[in-house]
Amino acid sequence: MILLCAGYAVRLYPLTKDQPKPLLPIAGRPLLEYILDQVKAVKEVTKVFVVTNHRFAGHFERWAKSVTAPWPLIVVDDQTTSNEHRLGAIGDLCYVLKTQKIGEDDLLVVAGDNLFDFDLCRFVELAKEKAPHAVIATFDVGSKELAAQYGLVKMAKDGKVFEFFEKPKHPPTTLASCGIYWLPRQTTVLLDRYLSSGHNADQPGHYMKWLAQEDSLFAVSLKGRWYDIGDLTSYQKANAQFTGVH
């Protein structure tokens, strides 16, 4: 499994000027630990790689030593030091695959700024049925006003994704991609082809859109709570919702 935690979260300044977003406290616990709570039930996970930047690598290394987990927590420093020179989410994904010599493994990939209580076991179970194709998790945000803030997808009855929309002004759907991906081992070669062709290395949504066109991409809709911690308002809302619950 790979947790994408190498962003600089400039929209959350000053909170994230000296603290990585995935380690911000939510109801007194680091955000990342809520993700790990859900991952612990997924038997397919045997290692967790946390990819971060050089500026915050020490933060994650100290945090990893404080966490009790059923598998190794491996912090990977992508060596970048500023938002302007970041590798981007897809660039970081490739960096981990190459530096950690991950080859013949299916991958669960989760953005480290996600807060959710989805059943990840169910997601992986359904995703494996779509092999050898990649699968994304989606969540119905319930209103078109909210939907305009996210990357949205339209999918067929069998779950196949046939259209993407990146923060549209007039959302045609309320089904948002929520930063959880299942990438079978067969998609690694496609990832290399995507980057070598000069495509956007930052947002995973660009790669998923490309996958839908070049191969096939499927989606699984999940139920529960989901917060995309993108700015101060969303962080405060999530913190308030989880305070007193956990």
Element (H, E) at 174: none
Structure tokens at 150: 């996210």
Q: What is the predicted pLDDT for the residue at 124?
A: 95
Q: Picking from 2-6, 17-21, 102-106, which range would have the lowest pLDDT averaged per residue?
A: 102-106
| Tokens 């990585």 found at | 20
- The answer to whether the bond into 172 is cis (omega within 30° of 0) is no
Confidence of residue 205 (pLDDT cuts 50, 70, 90): confident
pTM higher than the cut 0.95 = no
| DSSP symbol at 55 | T
Confidence of residue 197 (pLDDT cuts 50, 70, 90): confident
Q: pLDDT, tens digit, for every residue of 112-166?
A: 998 998 899 999 999 999 989 999 999 999 999 989 988 899 989 889 998 888 8
With a pLDDT cut of 70, the percent of the chain lying above it is 99
Q: pLDDT, tens digit, for every residue of 208-228?
A: 888 888 888 999 999 988 988
Q: Picking from 71-80, 116-125, 193-202, which range would have the lowest pLDDT averaged per residue?
A: 193-202
Inter-axis angle of helices 188-196 and 204-214, nearest 10: 110
Q: What is the predicted pLDDT for the residue at 111?
A: 93
Confidence of residue 246 (pLDDT cuts 50, 70, 90): very low
Q: Picking from 14-23, 29-38, 73-82, 160-169, which range would have the lowest pLDDT averaged per residue?
A: 160-169
Half-sphere exposure of 66 (CA within 13 A, CB side): 11
Can you tell me the mean pLDDT for 83-108? 88
- Cβ atoms of 151 and 164 closer than 8 Å: yes
Q: What is the predicted pLDDT for the residue at 183?
A: 92
Q: What is the predicted pLDDT for the residue at 244?
A: 60
Q: What is the domain partition of the chain in residue ranges?
A: 2-242
Architecture, CATH, for domain 2-242: Alpha-Beta Complex (3.90)
